[in-house]
């Protein structure tokens, strides 16, 4: 299974900013994975992208078993490739391997969601509060990713939507000038992916995300960091609410 992730021609990036979109699907599958010292081969990257798509589209549900033999057949690849992809997603917190159960998609309970989103809020606020006057080249990188995400949102490639969304956020929060904060945000973007995936697949939530990205750019240009900080926090909530309605509230109803 081969996915075309981003079909935008690469453009030069500002120094220290996230790279511009990659030109080919196999290469661009890798660019959003944290850890430049951990290169991912194109076959492994393609399986990661295929798993992303299946999670976003609801083909793999929280606590769904990720059986190597089935994935090999579904994606037409060898065992070591599937295993490496699962190991990478386990490192990012997307996949867990409970004892005696094998790999499965992470499922969050209400308490875990509250703590995770509390941490994400702390990080987002910390990043915005450290932004000063944003240089034109920094604004250009953020705007380029906003445009790439808006285009992907109309194209039907859910992995492209997910990846360009993360790269928009990476470009935005990198403006804080503290790479440790920016990298922590990126890692928590991946950790929360099983939750955020439901905002990618929901057309109304996706439209809202695009509108909020545009508003973030306006606030950034106008220097309204106080309002940008509040929007950067509120921006996370739509996908969280969708996930909670599906897997937390519904679970309480079933057991109540």
For helices 237-244 and 193-201, give the axis angle rounded to 10 degrees: 100
Note whether 121 and 236 are within 8 A (CB). yes
How many angstroms separate the CA atoms of 163 and 187, rounded?
A: 13
pLDDT (mean) for 4-27? 40
Chain position carrying tokens 């240089």: 135
Chain position carrying tokens 């070591």: 80
Q: What is the pTM (predicted TM-score) of this model?
A: 0.85
Residue that wins the pLDDT comparison between 39 and 61? 61
Residue that wins the pLDDT comparison between 126 and 156? 126
Q: Which tens digit of pLDDT belongs to each residue from 86-100?
A: 999 999 999 999 988
Q: According to the model, what pLDDT value does residue 223 have?
A: 95
């Amino acid at each position: 299974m081969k996915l075309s992730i981003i079909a935008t021609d690469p453009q030069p990036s500002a120094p220290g900013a996230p790279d511009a979109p990659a030109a080919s699907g196999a290469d661009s599958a890798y660019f959003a994975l944290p850890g430049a010292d951990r290169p991912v081969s194109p076959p492994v990257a393609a399986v990661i992208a295929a798993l992303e798509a299946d999670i976003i589209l609801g083909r793999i549900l929280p606590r769904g078993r990720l059986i190597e033999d089935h994935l090999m057949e579904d994606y037409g690849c060898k065992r070591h490739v599937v295993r490496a992809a699962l190991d990478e997603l386990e490192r990012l917190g997307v996949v867990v391997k409970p004892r005696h159960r094998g790999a499965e998609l992470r499922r969050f309970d209400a308490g875990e969601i509250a703590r995770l989103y509390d941490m994400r809020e702390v990080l987002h606020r910390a990043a915005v509060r450290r932004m000063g006057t944003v240089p034109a080249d920094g604004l250009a990188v953020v705007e380029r990713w906003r445009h790439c995400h808006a285009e992907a949102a109309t194209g039907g490639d859910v992995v492209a939507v997910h990846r360009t969304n993360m790269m928009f956020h990476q470009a935005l929060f990198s403006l804080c000038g503290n790479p440790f904060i920016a990298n922590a945000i990126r890692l928590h973007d991946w950790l929360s992916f099983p939750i955020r995936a439901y905002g990618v697949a929901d057309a109304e939530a996706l439209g809202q995300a695009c509108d909020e990205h545009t508003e973030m750019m306006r606030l950034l240009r106008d220097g309204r960091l106080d309002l940008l900080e509040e929007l950067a926090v509120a921006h996370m909530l739509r996908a969280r609410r969708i996930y909670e309605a599906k897997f937390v509230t519904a679970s309480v109803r079933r057991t109540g």
